[in-house]
Amino acid sequence: MSDPGPTGHRPADHRCGPRRRGDALFQAIFAATMAELAEIGYAGIAMERVAARARTSKASLYRRWPSRADLVAEAIVHCGPEPIEPPDTGSLRGDLLSLLQRMADRLDGPFGEALRGVLAETLADPSRTAAARSRMTALGDALMAAIVDRAIARGEIGGPATGPCAGRAANALLLHYYLTHGTPVPGQVLAEIVDDVALPLLRAGQPSDAPDRPEVPL
């Protein structure tokens, strides 16, 4: 008999009801994964429970997703909140602050719970979960690259010689704060990441005629 889990909920036996295939099956698996994530958290997710809830077999899950980290990462991408768009506030500083705030808001929910679990599992088994980690962090890198490209076009910073690591630093510091302190991430922390790290790195080697940092309300 299957384990009812910590909440007392016993997933439906996949042998009951119609079997699903193709896109319908994938959507059922993603929905089941998100439901399990919401009910018991990443640590409690088991492929057997997801399979039972989606009315399929555990083997069918493992054929496509070699680990629960891979499954959760893909479910989050398909069923999570609407994709974040690169903000356009008219200034590099405004864009950076807006993006980090949106990312911080997203971490304060199921996405953050899943990301924390996937990263922890990556440390234990990097060869099996590297793809899952990349799937969940690549969006932030792409958005930051779009913001930097826009700032270059506006003439706020120099060309690509500033280097991709300068843009990634802000994402990395936000993630570090989340992993060590949790949520919510204070606005003052986001401002310090932008003003003390991201902007100096992105403007490195340019004339030091940037305006003074404006006061940031707490």
Q: Residues 62-68: what's their mean pLDDT?
A: 92
Higher local confidence (pLDDT), 154 or 207: 154
**Joined tokens for residue 76:** 């989050």
Query: Taking a C-beta distance cutoff of 8 angstroms, is the pair 144, 167 a contact?
Result: yes
- For the stretch 149-164, pLDDT in tens is 999 999 999 876 566 6
- For the stretch 66-94, pLDDT in tens is 889 889 988 988 876 666 788 999 999 99
Residue 139 pLDDT grade (very low, low, confident, very high; cuts 50, 70, 90): confident
Higher local confidence (pLDDT), 5 or 152: 152
For residue 17, the model assigns a pLDDT of 54
For residue 162, the model assigns a pLDDT of 60
For residue 210, the model assigns a pLDDT of 45
High-pLDDT (> 70) share of the chain, %: 78
User: In the CATH scheme, what architecture does the domain 92-202 have?
Assistant: Orthogonal Bundle (1.10)
Q: Residues 46-64: what's their mean pLDDT?
A: 95
| CATH code given to domain 22-64 | 1.10.10.60
| Reported pTM | 0.75
38 φ, ψ to 5°? -70, -35
The rounded distance, in Å, linking the Cα atoms of 209 and 212 is 9
CB atoms within 10 A of CB 116: 18
Higher local confidence (pLDDT), 11 or 44: 44
Domain boundaries, the chain: 22-64, 92-202
For residue 218, the model assigns a pLDDT of 40
- For the stretch 160-194, pLDDT in tens is 656 667 878 999 999 999 999 999 999 999 999 99
- For the stretch 21-45, pLDDT in tens is 678 999 999 999 999 998 999 999 9
Residue 2 pLDDT grade (very low, low, confident, very high; cuts 50, 70, 90): very low
